[in-house]
Structure 1
Amino acid sequence: MLGLLLVGAAAVPVQAASTREQQWFLDAMKAEQMWKTSTGKGITVAVIDTGVDPDNPDLKGRVLKGKDFAPDSRVGDEHTDYDGHGTGMAGLIAGTGKYGGGQGAFGLAPGADILPVRMPHPDEMGAFDGSGYFSKSIRYAANAGAKVINISMSGGYRNPELTGAVRYAWSKGSLVFAGIGNDADKTHKVSELAATPGVVAVAAVGKNLRRAPFSQYGPEVDIAAPGVDMVHACGGKTGLCKTSGTSDATALASASAALIWSKHPTWTNNQVLRVMLNTIGAPTDGAKRNDSIGYGIVRPRVALQNPGDPGPADEYPLPDLAAAASAPPSPEPSSVTDAAEAPAKDKSAEETSSDSKTNTSVWIAFGALSLVLLCGTAVVLVRKRRAANAAALFPTVTHSPGQPPSPAAGFPNAPHYPPPGSGSDIPPGRGPDAAV
């Protein structure tokens, strides 16, 4: 299967009683203190995922009309979550806790609005489709007014189309966050999407603020956020789940941006991201980084209290966007609909002055190359092997370990991960009781 990966571990149903008490990450991030200053109100966060259920008790009133890119054979629209994952990410971002008279699950930015953008299932995307769907979704979200674009999925491959879409979203004033991937305990291969220039790549930490063992690592990591044993609203039978993954961490990074932006609505995307870096948690000071958690752990409470200098409005604060500037720009769509559905540019139109013999040769060569690529992809699928090269065009993509194909299938026990704490990614003296 190619195209996307839900970068979260298996979801386990959670009893509704004392839900808030189980949301350790909100305590660590001092959410109640932050909510006195900002709840994310007025900020739209796009959730590019498997759909978002607006009828979840903890999301009622927070979910907007969005866009459905799933095939016609898929039941429903962007408000139909065929997996439960998208609703879970929306819950981590904007859950209101209203279930049972305030006994439900809260998101970090309960005042934010969710723009659902439904992607196809991995089985419904071919080798060439993953990046195309992501590109369309990113462009749609940017044109629809989403300040923050959350992609708790992985897949596709880095190419000018995807890089151009990210750069387009940046030019429209959006920030794009994506999970770095969950296979560090098996293989070292970061998400191609998260590694795309202009995307803020998010790693996961546990309760002790160390990199979670499953969280990928490398020079692509930009920031980190809690992502272990996360209780939140979701699309399962109970409406509540406990999951672990860089999916969850990405949702909290997106929610953090929403909190800051709501407090400072005139800031640009560059300034919001710069303040996130200014106020980053241990072990860095915002100027240094490591491969485990990037520049550090997001701390929106500090950003709301003492943001520091937001800096220039038009300068991207991370170094990787310079690489994106070298990518050829793709046509800018004229409307939201065009952004989502405009077909790829027909490059053969540039060759209309060539004679028919030349054109025929070009198409024969292109067809042969496509056949070779597809055959190679088939071999990868049959052997179920991951490409060794991080820049491989068509990485093998599957669901995360233990992730069920749909909520109706029930949620098996999540895979056991050892307690976070491997690696030297936080300084001595920082422990489980440290605030994020």
Structure 2
Amino acid sequence: MRRVGVIAVVFAALVVAPPAGAGKLQVGRSTPGVVELMSLRAHAYALIQLPRGRRVPGATLVSRRLGVWRLPAAHAERIALGLHPLAVEADRAVKPQRAAAEPFAGFEWWRAAVGADRVVPPGPGKRVTVIDSGLDVGHPEFAGRPNTTLLDAQSTIGAEDEAHGTAVSSVAAAPENGIGLVGIYPQAVLAEWDTGPMYVSDVIQGIEHALDAGQSVINMSFGFDGYDRLLADELDVAFGSGSLVVAAAGNDYREGNARHSPAALPHVLTVAATDQQNHSSDFSNRSLAIDLAAPGENIPVAVPTWVSPSGYATADGTSFSAPLVAGAAAWVWTRRPELDVTQLFDLMRWSATDIGTPGFDEDSGWGLLNVPAALSRDAPAVDPGEPNDDVYEVVDGKLFRNAASPLTSPGHGSATLSARLDVTEDPEDVYRVWVPARNRVAIRVTVSGDADVELWNATTPSVLITGAVRRKHLLDGSGYDGDHPENVAFRNRTRRGTYVYLDVYLPEQGASSSSYRATITTAR
């Protein structure tokens, strides 16, 4: 492998400017009101969500899976009042956040750090989809590269941020062609989505096109402060459709360590950065959302020649740690195609090499990416029904056209399942349970760690509601500390069968993770 010629270059991690007051992740769902609609006046564009099948006149479809449309904010308030939308929010613009870079050449030292020098990557297999600022298709690494699909038109001309997508893609999948550098999975099937002006709607559209192309590992080396409900829903759809989403943790630990999305969202494999001594990088964000770490300093990358005449540079940032994990995950999935996405998710983090504080920590999660271990470690059990964090994810026609099957159904009155919870990735599991007319359902949940259990009636809009509405819909609950078994029950005294919702969740002051086994029986 030839040494890479490098000049100094500064790359940007992509972030969305947060709205005033953004901070703690929000939960729950509510119909937009006058205040939300009036707030749109400060933005150029808005996103409106309607039930699938309905249209917004004069708007552009962003996500057919969610029923999301984009239109000028000046029209959104008037149109929304007449259409009674499910959600309305500003389509926020993405702005660059400066990431560190090193002005010196370096070999691909990361290869030995993650064990990629000890195993041979496979031929084409699982797809890696890069959603970013675009790919320089004329670059020697990518001109004529086999198994490369452009999901939209690619542009890398303009601001220096336009080099970001090419750099990210090269880390994941630059081919072994005798030129420059080699990505972690050089023969990966590669798909590219250019986010263009980089609004949230552009990202959602990229995910839509990625899902249309089939199952893949989706890399997202960007982020924004706070929470966006529509993006969170789209990522849940991606995970529920069998795709693994990998996100960069962020590079602003020294500037306040802001909580970023998509990195902090459930069901997103979040990657921090390490240096050449396998220590956490001082710029890499810290939080409970970190799943694992990968090298993120002095990483050789390909860049458009207008950035560097050589076409190469070195760069620092979690933006380049994430594609190492994304490429490695696609490699592992290609070698182990029987894995369910929930198994792959946990395998990638649980096979990591522990660094720093023993066990899980907020700097590096479960540890440093370890490709040989991910290829050989026993697969975790499937975590069934994911994503199933609330009612709207487990009912047909809500978030999913066809949601996960209920645990029990007419004619099948008993069931047993095993599952697990994680404080940031999967803090809550909701299941439908059928209770025949004049029957009683009893549910026993044995726990390793700590988990509480509730049973909700068929009309509850959410298991996150509070106050009088909560009392109206809650049927039973059990909340012992620690490993004590939890038991809930409900008797259906009516002449018609009904579904109820079983909710198993991590208590606020309990363990950060837990596994459990639920046993459901029905009888007169």
**What is the TM-score with the length of structure 1 in the denominator?**
0.63
Q: 1:274: Cα distance to partner?
A: 2.4
CA offsets 1:299-354 (integer angstroms, 9 cap, x no match)? 112222x22133227466xxxx5547766944769xxxxxxxxxxxxxxxxxxxxx
Correspondent of 1:135 among 183, 200, 204 = 204
Amino acid at match of 2:171: L
Query: Which residue of the partner structure matches residue 54 of structure 2?
Result: none
Q: Work out whether residues 249 and 290 of structure 2, in 8 Å CA contact, stay in contact via their aligned partners in 1.
A: yes
Amino acid at match of 1:171: G
Query: Which residue of the partner structure matches residue 340 of structure 2?
Result: 268
Q: 1:155: Cα distance to partner?
A: 2.4
Structure 1 residues 284 and 184: CA distance shift in structure 2, 3 A: closer
Query: Which residue of the partner structure matches residue 87 of structure 1?
Result: 166
Correspondent of 1:43 among 126, 139, 149 = 126
Q: Say if 2:374 is the partner of 1:303.
A: yes
Structure 1 residues 66 and 160: CA distance shift in structure 2, 3 A: same
Q: Work out whether residues 48 and 149 of structure 1, in 8 Å CA contact, stay in contact via their aligned partners in 2.
A: yes
Larger radius of gyration, structure 1 or 2?
2
| Counterparts of 2:296 and 2:255, CA distance in 1 | 18
Query: Which residue of the partner structure matches residue 108 of structure 1?
Result: 184
CA offsets 1:35-70 (integer angstroms, 9 cap, x no match)? 2xx3362121111000012222223414633334xx
SS of residue in 2 equivalent to 1:155: strand
| Counterparts of 1:116 and 1:210, CA distance in 2 | 31
CA offsets 1:201-220 (integer angstroms, 9 cap, x no match)? 11111111111000000112
Query: Which residue of the partner structure matches residue 417 of structure 2?
Result: none
CA offsets 1:267-320 (integer angstroms, 9 cap, x no match)? 22112222213311113899x42111112111112222x22133227466xxxx
How do residues 27-426 of structure 1 correspond to structure 2 at under 5 angstroms?
Answer: 27-35=112-120, 38-39=121-122, 41-60=124-143, 61-62=145-146, 64-68=148-152, 77-78=153-154, 80=156, 82=158, 83-98=162-177, 102-121=178-197, 125=199, 130=200, 132-155=201-224, 157-235=226-304, 236-237=307-308, 238-283=310-355, 288-304=359-375, 306-312=376-382, 314=384, 323=389, 329-330=398-399
Number of residues of Structure 1 aligned to a counterpart in Structure 2? 302
Q: Work out whether residues 7 and 154 of structure 1, in 8 Å CA contact, stay in contact via their aligned partners in 2.
A: no
Amino acid at match of 1:194: A
Query: Which moved further from structure 2: 42-51 or 235-244?
Result: 235-244
Structure 1 residues 81 and 315: CA distance shift in structure 2, 3 A: farther
Q: 1:107: Cα distance to partner?
A: 0.5
Query: Which residue of the partner structure matches residue 9 of structure 1?
Result: 99
| Counterparts of 2:197 and 2:204, CA distance in 1 | 16
Q: 1:78: Cα distance to partner?
A: 2.2
Q: 1:12: Cα distance to partner?
A: 6.2
Structure 1 residues 59 and 144: CA distance shift in structure 2, 3 A: same
Which protein is richer in helix relative to its size?
Answer: 1
Q: Work out whether residues 278 and 355 of structure 2, in 8 Å CA contact, stay in contact via their aligned partners in 1.
A: no
Structure 1 residues 90 and 81: CA distance shift in structure 2, 3 A: farther
Q: Work out whether residues 231 and 241 of structure 1, in 8 Å CA contact, stay in contact via their aligned partners in 2.
A: yes
Structure 1 residues 148 and 8: CA distance shift in structure 2, 3 A: farther
Amino acid at match of 1:163: A
| Counterparts of 2:95 and 2:360, CA distance in 1 | 26
| Counterparts of 1:244 and 1:7, CA distance in 2 | 13
Structure 1 residues 146 and 216: CA distance shift in structure 2, 3 A: same
- Percent identity between matched residues is 25
| Counterparts of 1:191 and 1:92, CA distance in 2 | 22
Q: Where does structure 2 lack aligned partners over 5 or more consecutive residues? A: 1-15, 18-92, 403-524
Q: Where does structure 1 lack aligned partners over 5 or more consecutive residues? A: 16-20, 69-76, 334-436
Structure 1 residues 172 and 8: CA distance shift in structure 2, 3 A: farther
SS of residue in 1 equivalent to 2:381: coil
Identify the structure with bigger relative contact order (alpha carbons < 8 Å, sequence gap 6+).
Answer: 1
Q: Work out whether residues 51 and 80 of structure 1, in 8 Å CA contact, stay in contact via their aligned partners in 2.
A: yes
**What is the TM-score with the length of structure 2 in the denominator?**
0.53
Structure 1 residues 157 and 184: CA distance shift in structure 2, 3 A: closer
